[in-house]
Structure 1
Amino acid sequence: MGSDQSGQADGAGRFPAREHEVRCVSAAGIHRMAYREYGPCDAARTLLCVHGLTRNGHDFEPLAQRLAADGWRVVCPDVVGRGHSSWLADPRHYEFPQYVADMMLLLARLDLDSVSWLGTSMGGLIGMIIASLDDSPVERLILNDVGPFVPVEALRRIGEYVGQAPSFASVDEAERFLRFVCAPFGDLGDAGWRRLTETSIKPVADGRWNMRYDPRIAENFRAQAAGGDIDLWPIYERIRCPTLVIRGARSDLLGADTLAQMALRGPLAQTAEIAGVGHAPMFFDDAQIGLLRAFLAGH
């Protein structure tokens, strides 16, 4: 894939996405990971935005546009099996070691020695793992509604819909479904819900629409949920870069107690809660985006 490489705003003040892909490898062979870039190609600062379990990099478009106007280069990959990326030949490799390896290859492709990282849910766990490693390229870390402890009840709730989405007869039908299963995202407004729907589905045979992810990602996820709570405190406590943790105030995945402990352990994270939102904030509005801009500016 390819597109305009200037990195400059158009006449309407928007930054066209530059679309690319990088070849990655698993034990089952080669797969392609799609990613989009926004903002100046030669920017001094780069933010990598990594989405949640069934989402894709388009979720960060409003944020990417705002940060590109601030002079940032923003890179939004589609994790393998999601969005415009390949589906893995063997679904057993939909797991964190594969995701970490793919992201490190992407950073090498981008020729980045250091990067700021924003991860929502699964994307935050990937970032947490990379940030905990010696000689990590992550210089600032933002964890969006995820932490080192994830209760099994939240995993089971998510497992109820992962891979279970029906085929839709229309975009309107898909939007009604997403408004229901993604209600914890909060009030996105009519335009926000339509945008989220259009970037979440793809046309298939007979004029129908399917979700834009491999339903087989549910296999490993449900197996993990069957194992009980996720406890990654030893990983979190190795992180030393400046860290911001944002929690949806109604979240069942990141508890208030865990958020409080994250401010006292490991990187001694800054913390914030967003009212009226569960799992997870989407950064579609100026107030939510403002939290990230302040942290990235070093405030």
Structure 2
Amino acid sequence: MEDIQSEPALHKVLGYGPDGYHEIAYAEWGNPDPQQTVICVHGLTRNARDFDKLARRLAENNHVLCPDVVGRGNSDWLADHSHYTLDQFAADQRQVIARSGANTVDWVGTSMGGLIGIVLASEKRSPLRRLVINDIGPFIPVAAVRRIKDYLGVDPEFSSLDEAEAYLRQIYAQTIPMTDEDWTHYTQHGLRMDEQGKYRLHSDPKIGETIKRYWAFMHVNLWSRWDRIECPVLVIRGEKSDFLTESIAQRMATTGPKAEVITIPDIGHHPSLQSQEQISMITDWFDKSAI
């Protein structure tokens, strides 16, 4: 077996939207392979480097791309925050798929990344061959969005990495399991330094404005798209998740693509995908569902 790279190659591709062109950054693992390409997409306020452990494992047999959704990580911020929409995110990921050189890809999406996966998988002649969804469903209860909206759109500043890590441990308390090393990794890649030498979150604080204005007062409902998905789907769910409740997961298992659902005990929103046990849930499913 070839040595697996310890760090990804970093690239950018152009996306387009109402604000014109913008750059989408992505981390690349493994060698280009149009037959075995996996795309991993992160949650609402996180970034591509959350998948480093999973990507290293997948790169043993796959070409892996992990994009920063626009407004996060090393991708551009949009001039108009109202354009941070699921449609824009999906359009950008079509560009990432095109850049991969693959006609079919496997998709791993955590939370928001899972929603983007649902949109893309529901389209006619979708390039998504298999879909892994980490703790999100076609329907999001209002209570779950209201719970997180308090820290959306804020722009805290930190004097040290330790101070920032303490903050991240608090707001992502349900994201488990996480070792001390995992939290350090989350912190290092989840921050940027401003002109005054202060640490800030590595995302556009205006991302939350659209969520607060629209999502907090309505249910997100993609069931019509769910029913159009034809590829195999694995759903990983935290037992205590308020985003993906048991009843929603049950409907996902019995309608549309009739997903296989794995529920992890004593975890909320969302499983971290950092432990070898959780990583193996994905790699084992890919192995047994090989096409």
TM-score of the pair, normalised by structure 1: 0.93
CA distance in 1, matches of 2:5, 2:96: 25
Tell whether the 8 Å contact from 2:34 to 2:101 is kept in structure 1 after alignment.
no
Mind listing any 5+ residue stretches in structure 1 that lack a counterpart?
1-7
> Equivalences for 1:170-249 in 2 at 5 Å?
170-249=160-239
The one-letter amino acid of 1:268's match is: K
Tell whether the 8 Å contact from 2:38 to 2:107 is kept in structure 1 after alignment.
yes
Cα distance change of structure 1 residues 42 and 225 upon mapping to structure 2, 3 Å threshold: closer
> Equivalences for 1:54-133 in 2 at 5 Å?
54-69=45-60, 71-133=61-123
CA distance in 2, matches of 1:47, 1:148: 22
Aligned-partner SS, 1:245: strand
CA distance in 2, matches of 1:154, 1:42: 38
| Match in the other structure for 1:4 | none
The one-letter amino acid of 1:288's match is: Q
- Aligned residues, how many? 288
| Match in the other structure for 2:281 | 291
CA RMSD of aligned residues (A): 1.3
The one-letter amino acid of 2:288's match is: G
Tell whether the 8 Å contact from 1:15 to 1:39 is kept in structure 2 after alignment.
no
Cα distance change of structure 1 residues 18 and 215 upon mapping to structure 2, 3 Å threshold: same
Report whether the alignment pairs 1:260 with 2:250. Answer: yes
Mind listing any 5+ residue stretches in structure 2 that lack a counterpart?
none
Offset, 1:197: 0.9
Offset, 1:14: 3.4
Q: Deviations along 1:164-213, whole A, 9 cap, x unmatched?
A: 14100100000000000000002301111111111100111332100000
Tell whether the 8 Å contact from 1:248 to 1:273 is kept in structure 2 after alignment.
yes
Offset, 1:223: 1.8
Cα distance change of structure 1 residues 168 and 83 upon mapping to structure 2, 3 Å threshold: same
Aligned-partner SS, 2:123: coil
CA distance in 1, matches of 2:6, 2:158: 31
Offset, 1:15: 4.2
Aligned-partner SS, 1:183: coil
